[in-house]
Structure 1
């Protein structure tokens, strides 16, 4: 069957246009992946030259550990040891399973006297028990991290804690508030139904469980509270956290905190 030159020309034009449109769409979607597929809630920690990716549960656990340490007036080294231990034991998740009867962030065992399973599954309780044991370790601030962690955990492979030290140091610098503006999170909100009202009072009550008094007595403590609030933003429906002349908002396009749009009151403001 023969076709006229006109028909062949039209077919070629259609094919070229189809290819061109397909290539254009591919590059558009590649540049804006959030249009191609749903983006999950996520967090990032930028401190001490590290850029760490966490999911909200991991960020919440990290923030809780730092808050408990602050309540107990422990040094940052204790937080680093706790993070390295939790990363090895649970990857910073509150697991309801483990080896034998091990559960929770630190994989503590009811049969070994750490508490009931219900208690151990409470990250605030579990962290308090970890620190209570850690401070009894002689010279825990100066001895190698793996040695200090193993003295608390008494695990079969105590050497495994050491490789997590650098990551733990970055997390500790961020969540203790020593490095400001270092914790950023985002979660899906809005859509066809209006977002629920932020539960700011509930958030403050839960912070107080870990931190004790939520009064801001220093700039470092303020950034600890701000980091805790951002990490728990999805859980309590927070869309903005403001402190010390900077603000975090639940904006997918934002790269972090914005300066010049924060609270000048000395308080961490949630909304």
Structure 2
């Protein structure tokens, strides 16, 4: 009879294999999860660094937003100018919208709140459809703002809270600097202050949409020519506001370039799209040329 001393039988070996295989499975699962997390993180980093982005610069400081956010910021600022309100009104509105919706026209919120400013139909701000119209909801915000005593001198926290009646009023102050930079650049106080790096448009520029937006948000008309729209501004500041607005709205309208004075912004994905480059075909004084192809 052979001795089994010193040898491991199959029956003895099985219990030892179990924990090893479990450990291997756990390690492989962990590696897979880390890899998946790195992929999603890298994808987010790619979108934020290399994806379509817009930048506003004023006083040596810059803020970055995605094209949807910058387009909404442009609407908020243009309507303030249309109403004859100072840049501070736009600063308050922008800081409020950043806090309430991150400058996105969202269809959800606390209770029945919707839109850029998270206004509530049940509180008399309008219907859901009206509030989801950026122009309507912005005008409603300014309607309420100008009724606030000392709105143009009190702190943003105090003023925004009186309009919004938020559960977190101190949060508005966190976005004051962002609001100031956006307002200064988009209102034309900081020339060459807005630029966007964008993909090529999917189709032809929507001329009718550009005209409607200019009319609603600036109360200005444009003149069409072959491949361009020209807008005459009442001042140099408003001209730069329109130029910045046009770059910010390019994602919605299909605009491919903007010329003002001896400077031109050209739509693209490379670093040149961050700058207003000198041009050999300048626009006349106080005119902004929107390129559509």
- 1:163 aligned to which of 156, 174, 180: 174
How far did residue 265 of structure 1 move? Answer: 4.8
Match of 1:210 among 198, 217, 240: 217
Secondary structure (helix, strand or coil) at the match of 1:53 reads strand
> Does the CA contact (< 8 Å) of 2:56 and 2:195 recur in 1?
yes
Q: Match for 2:126 among 115, 124, 130?
A: 115
CA RMSD of aligned residues (A): 1.7
2:256 aligned to which of 239, 251, 269: 239
Larger radius of gyration: 2
Residue 24 (structure 1) aligns with = none
Query: 2:276 matched to 1:257?
Result: yes
Secondary structure of 2:95's counterpart equals helix
Give 1:91 deviation, angstroms. 0.8
SS in 2 for 1:234: helix
Residue 201 of structure 1, CA deviation: 4.0
> In structure 1, how many angstroms separate the alpha carbons of the residues matched to 2:245 and 2:214?
8
Which structure 1 segments of 5+ residues have no match? 1-36
Name the counterpart of 1:103. 114
Tell me the matched-pair count.
232
1:229 aligns with 2:246: yes
In the alignment, the residues of structure 2 paired with residue 54 and residue 157 of structure 1 have an alpha-carbon distance, to the nearest angstrom, of 23
Is 1:50 aligned to residue 66 of structure 2?
Answer: no
TM score, norm. by length of structure 1: 0.81
Contact 2:243 2:258 in 1 (8 A): yes
Match of 1:86 among 69, 84, 97: 97
* Structure 2 CA distance for aligned equivalents of residues 122 and 170 of structure 1: 24
Which residue of the partner structure matches residue 9 of structure 2? none
Question: What is the match of residue 267 of structure 1?
Answer: 287
Query: What is the CA distance between 1:80 and its match in structure 2?
Result: 0.7
Comparing 138-147 with 252-261, greater Cα deviation is found at: 252-261
**1:15 equivalent in structure 2:** none
Gaps of 5+ in 2: 1-45, 222-231
1:207 and 1:95 mapped to 2: Cα distance?
23
Deviant stretches of 4+, over 6 Å: none
Counterparts of 2:248 and 2:211, CA distance in 1: 13
Instruction: Tell me the secondary structure at the aligned position of residue 100 of structure 1.
Output: coil
SS class of match (1:268): strand
Shifted more, 250-259 versus 168-177: the winner is 250-259
